[in-house]
Homo-oligomer: A and B are copies of this chain.
Amino acid sequence: MSLEERKKTRVTLLDVARHANVSRATASLVLRKSPLVGTETRARVEQAMRDLGYVYNIGAARLRVERSQIIGAIVPNLTNPFFAELLSGIEEVIGATGKVVLLANSGDNVDRQEMLLRRMREHGVDGVILCPAARTEPALSDHIADWGMPVVQVLRHISLDLDYVGVDYATGMHQAVDYLASLGHEKIAFAVHGPVHSAYRERVEGFREAMSSRNLNSEIIIRFPTLLGEIASASRLLFDQPERPTAVICFNHIVALGLSGGLHDQGLTIGRDISLVSFDDVADAEAMRPKLTSVSTGPVAIGEMAAQLLVDRIASPHLPPRHLVNDTKLHIRQSCGRPN
């Protein structure tokens, strides 16, 4: 019967209070570990909570107190392992602070992103970690300021008024180009794909800058299809160029995966006939053969940094905006050799 009752109506703090012969206020103090309440009383209330199977109702508490203990995370594409790792870093840090993560997938669609932001505000999130969809208007940052909602941008940015955690693509690109140049490569292509956003532009600019600074042709930039399945068969695009490249830098691990398959299909041996450097050092890079030489961008660490920034921002909303760029590291493996 007590079991039946429990199912019907949730056990409330008032129930606990009654069972422990104290007032609702005292029970609430015990809940919040206030030093005001006496040792014996505290024990009695805690016992009552256990007896009745009390579960704290954060939603009710939030009505009085500003904090919901929920933060939102909006990413453009969940099925991309890169974002999954990012999310994993976010979840870990947020979870450790006792907060909880509302997950949403924008599909890189601005309208959907707007809807998701509204939905999250309706749920009273304490803040949001946002990887802005491509083509997001910079004006969004003004709206966010109006809302007074803490937001941290990850990987892509639309405004420097907001916190941002990203990758030092310029340096990463230099590492890739320097390494290839040191092997003797001069005709280096940059294989890009996907929608255009700040991280895309930074990588392209980084490539141009790194190539120009060595007086190499910085315009062998080739667009590939967005979907992994279509990249392999498009890999001949690499050779439809006035100058046939001897090395390719890949925009991310998806392009790298696609191209390494496609080049293999053309009878080329990677690391001998053509060299490949990838960005985004996800698990695949180490697992493939030849192992992929790759510029690691550390998605898990970025997720952790972003979560920490958001936690800080929630704690002190008037801090000036902070921008962190994570260092990249070139992992030299087996996919590069000298040009022939």
Contact = CB atoms under 8 A, between A and B. Distances in A.
B300 A287 contact: no
B63 A91 contact: no
A95 interface: yes
Interface stretch (A175-183, A238-246, A254-262): A254-262
A130 to B, nearest CB: 15
A128 B113 CA distance: 24
A59 B55 contact: no
Given A103-B101, A118-B55, A123-B100, A91 B70 contact: no
A208 B95 CA distance: 40
A135 B256 CA distance: 38
Contacts of A69: 123
A53 interface: yes
Nearest to A231: B287
B58 A124 contact: yes
Contact of A63 (B59, B116, B300): B59
Given A56-B122, A79-B85, A102 B100 contact: yes
A88 to B, nearest CB: 4
Query: Copy number of this protein in the oligomer?
Result: 2
Interface residues on A, range: 35 or more
Interface in A287-306: 287-289, 291, 300
A325 interface: no
Contacts of A265: 289
A217 B150 CA distance: 61
A287 B91 contact: no
A273 interface: no
B79 A84 contact: yes
11 contacts: A55-B122, A59-B59, A70-B102, A73-B103, A78-B84, A78-B91, A79-B85, A229-B286, A257-B287, A260-B287, A261-B289
Interface of A: 3, 6-7, 53, 55-60, 62-63, 68-70, 73, 78-81, 83-85, 87-88, 91-92, 95, 98, 100-105, 116, 118-124, 146, 148, 228-229, 232, 257-258, 260-261, 264-265, 283-284, 286-289, 291, 300
Given A95-B105, A100-B119, A102-B103, 6 more contacts: A7-B146, A56-B122, A81-B81, A91-B103, A103-B103, A228-B283
